[in-house]
Structure 1
Amino acid sequence: MKLKRKVEIAVISDVHLGTYGCHAKQLLTYLNSIQPKKLILNGDIIDIWQFSKRYFPKSHLKVIKKIMNMASDGVEVIYITGNHDDMLRKFSDTTIGNISIVDKIVLELDGKKAWFFHGDVFDASIQNAKWLAKLGGYGYDMLIVFNRLINWVLERMGKEKYSLSKRIKNGVKGALKYIGDFEQVATDLAIENGYDYVICGHIHQPKMLLKENKHGKTMYLNSGDWIENFTALEYQFKRWKVYHYNEDKLSPFFADQDIKEMEMTDLIAAITIFDAKKNT
């Protein structure tokens, strides 16, 4: 049995289970490779906005089952709500066994304060025109599907993969300004409140950056996503790092082979086992 990599905290966000863009098998590979004390799910894990009974593959169910198994095995799982799973906000401050649901959380890490939240609170399009934001979500999902088709062709031609959405984001000044403004607002608020770290998701841009103004400094961290970047944040030995799945050449942990055989009954069984352990 291969040893799992121990980390104090692992942070993932923007998985978007239930959408065509989600890469559940890669995420399973990552989750199978680590042994965290805390697993922080920083929003948009299940995409309730675009949820459809017609599309929720077994690999997506397997991610949910894996997280529940981790909780039943003693991992503290903190689910921070995002905009695509905002229906869960009615259950904020609820704890079941090792799983808690919150809108935001502050943790003390080796004498330093870390502020975790998804980040959609800064997005005016979501706060003021939710229908427009949902429409944009559908468009993004279709763009990802189209991009997969393009990359399928490119691979067979022996050429490198290409990201349409990254090209659009990097080529549109408004998108770059939005990302810059997001980081600036988050870090200014963190400094104002005396937080040493501010940890977000939402904008699908993995980053670790020290930000400073005349009032102080803070470390800005973004966990990225599991749509394009396949990234997470990890805290160990008093240090943060951005984990890149595509750069991890040493991880031999693959998505469980029984994905293809998994049924909804397996997920129900996992919930039952988890509930039984919680009550013992």
Structure 2
Amino acid sequence: MFHSIKKDSIFIADSHFNEKNQELLILLEKIANKQLNPSQLFLMGDIIDFISGESKYFIKTNKKVVDLINQISNSIEVFYLEGNHDYNLQSIFPNVKVFKRENQPVNFSFEDKTIAMSHGDIFTPWHYNLYCSIIRNKPLLVFLNLIDFANAISKKIESSLLKKNICGVIDDFDSFAKKRLSNYDTDLVVEGHFHQGKTFKSEKQTYINIPSLCCSKQYVLFDGEFAGVNI
């Protein structure tokens, strides 16, 4: 099944929203207030620094962002490709088209082009896949939420994430992009996760890495081509 991409769509990746990284809130407010009028909104994963459908503390602390996404989804089509920091989200975003990691890549089309999209943490070694299945396990997350007395576990996670430096450069991006493209057979591949904000073109395919909103202060506007826009 191929979904359609429309011109004037906005792509946001890896904003890692928290008390330190506030760029996402600024951008969502512009969309909600009609200062920006995208035809569609693509959230490419790791939008919030941590949230899951079971994490009551993080749902509460990110309520403003959650409410804005839900508000926007009432007027335009919103796609959310879950990342490694945000998962089990459908219950939080009832009108958003949410795609779990195991359902990525997601196929889209624009005119005569086929486009595969994912957060980016797929086609990975077995031990990472095992880790992903554990951290997304609903019974485990429900249990951890039950024993999260005084939000001690959640605050420990929050504190740890705030200390992380998530912005960096992949030295040989072209080789990296070629390897990523080898997993796909579509004309274009669009991913987040890697925080590079770069494009690579081979003879038959194009790889687009959406910039990290918190690192590059950019989102992407699609108008037939993918172009970075400063927030």
Structure-2-length-normalised TM-score: 0.67
Asked if 1:176 is matched to 2:180, the reply is no
TM superposition shift of 1:217:
1.7
CA deviations on 1:221-262 (whole Å, 9 max, x unpaired) are 1112122212222211x22212232xxxxxxxxxxxxxxxxx
**2:57 maps to what in 1?**
53
Asked if 1:227 is matched to 2:214, the reply is yes
Contact in 2 for aligned 1:81/1:101 (Cα 8 Å)? yes
CA deviations on 1:183-212 (whole Å, 9 max, x unpaired) are 22222223xx2x1110000011111221x2
**1:79 maps to what in 2?**
80
Residue segments in structure 2 that go unaligned for 5+ positions in a row = 1-5, 135-155
CA shift in 2, pair 1:55/1:189, >3 Å? closer
TM superposition shift of 1:18:
4.0
Residue segments in structure 1 that go unaligned for 5+ positions in a row = 1-5, 145-164, 246-280
Aligned residues with identical type, % of pairs: 22
Contact in 2 for aligned 1:19/1:56 (Cα 8 Å)? no
Contact in 1 for aligned 2:217/2:230 (Cα 8 Å)? yes
Aligned length: 194
Asked if 1:189 is matched to 2:183, the reply is yes
> What does 1:1-280 correspond to in 2, within 5 Å?
8-18=8-18, 20-28=20-28, 31=31, 32=33, 33-46=35-48, 47-48=50-51, 53=57, 60-73=62-75, 75-88=76-89, 96-97=94-95, 99-102=96-99, 103-104=103-104, 105-124=106-125, 126-127=128-129, 141-144=162-165, 166=167, 169-170=168-169, 176=171, 182-190=176-184, 193=185, 195-210=186-201, 212=202, 216-236=203-223, 238-245=224-231
Secondary structure in 2 matching 1:53: helix
Q: Which has the larger radius of gyration?
A: 1
Q: Distance in 1 between matches of 2:197 and 2:85?
A: 19
Structure-1-length-normalised TM-score: 0.57
CA deviations on 1:79-102 (whole Å, 9 max, x unpaired) are 1111112334xx59xx944x2111
Question: RMSD of the alignment, in Å?
Answer: 3.6
Q: Distance in 1 between matches of 2:58 and 2:157?
A: 21
